[in-house]
Amino acid sequence: MLKFITADVCPFAHRAWLVLLESGASFEKVDVTLTAGQKEPHFTSLYQRSLGANEGSDGKVPVIEDTDGFVLCESAIVAAYVDEVYFQSKLSGKNAKDRARIAIFNDQIGSRVMMKFYPFLMTVEAEAQNKTRNDFESALTALEGALGQCGGPFVLGETLSLADTNVWPFLLRAEIVLGHYRNWKLDTERYSNVAKFMNAMRTLKCVKESTVDPNVFISGYEDYANGKK
């Protein structure tokens, strides 16, 4: 059985988890510790022999070990691999134009949401926080436009793709963690397409089955929010 090495708090690992669940593949979920100095030796060992591992790192999630012994890390690549091998590329786009849209979205839109989420969360000083809030909301404005291009609710319209599964974990964590630590709430009028997307994602089996207690995120991001990271 395929092994999926993960930690529920991690949005990157969540990407791969969604695709595994959506594919219906049989897999063993192995939860590990991400705290420095406390990582399990088997996790570090598997990570260090995975394709894509960073030299000198003691481990990052996700990591998958396939049934033939192939070991792979890096979340977007793991998600794409699982989709191709276990789901007949159903999330990768049905044609070249779809695949191009997914690639551009992940590179220019989804990655921007991800990159602006962390500074907003990690900025403690109030005046500087106004800028990081605006930067994050500018990323959401770009997302709003991208979701509207094909009519929604997903990036490709009615069809779920790797663009959606790659960005969802960060939107979910933003809703919970930024709401808790930064008193932030999605403006559903300003970001109606984003709200429509999030509502559509919540109906999916893979999202329901990968939902964890919000306190996992709140406690897991506490140091980020309090300037200790």
For 38-62, how does the pLDDT look when each residue is reduced to its tens digit (9 = 90+)?
Answer: 999 999 999 999 999 999 999 999 9
- State whether 100 and 27 are in the same domain: no
Domain stop point among 63, 87, 111? 87
- State whether 125 and 170 are in the same domain: yes
pLDDT of 227 over the 90 cut? no
- State whether 53 and 137 are in the same domain: no
- State whether 42 and 108 are in the same domain: no
Which run of H or E residues covers position 131? helix 126-149
The total number of structural domains in the chain stands at 2
- State whether 123 and 220 are in the same domain: yes
Question: Would you state the torsion angle of the CA atoms of residues 100, 9, 185, 131, taken in this order, to the nearest 10 degrees?
Answer: -70
Structural domain boundaries enclosing 169: 96-225
- State whether 117 and 198 are in the same domain: yes
Contact (Cβ atoms closer than 8 angstroms) between residue 92 and residue 161: yes
The whole-chain average pLDDT of the chain stands at: 97
Residue 16 to residue 2: CA distance in whole angstroms: 13
- State whether 197 and 110 are in the same domain: yes
CATH number for position 159 = 1.20.1050.10
Domain stop point among 87, 112, 136? 87
From the list 10, 165, 154, the residue with the least C-alpha distance to 80 is: 165
CATH number for position 82 = 3.40.30.10
Q: What is the mean pLDDT of residues 156-181?
A: 98
Domain stop point among 46, 64, 87? 87
- State whether 125 and 179 are in the same domain: yes
- State whether 179 and 138 are in the same domain: yes
Q: For the chain, what percent of residues have pLDDT higher than 70? A: 100
- State whether 24 and 65 are in the same domain: yes
- State whether 76 and 129 are in the same domain: no
Please, what's the b/e burial string for 27-37 (b: 16 or more CB within 10 A of its CB; e: otherwise)? beebebebeee
pTM: 0.96
Of residues 229 and 195, more confidence is placed in: 195
The predicted pLDDT at position 86 comes to: 97
From the list 209, 225, 215, 214, the residue with the least C-alpha distance to 18 is: 209
- State whether 102 and 81 are in the same domain: no
Q: What is the mean pLDDT of residues 163-169?
A: 98
Cis ω for the linkage preceding 169 (within 30 of 0): no
| Greatest Cα-to-Cα distance within the chain, rounded to the nearest angstrom | 53
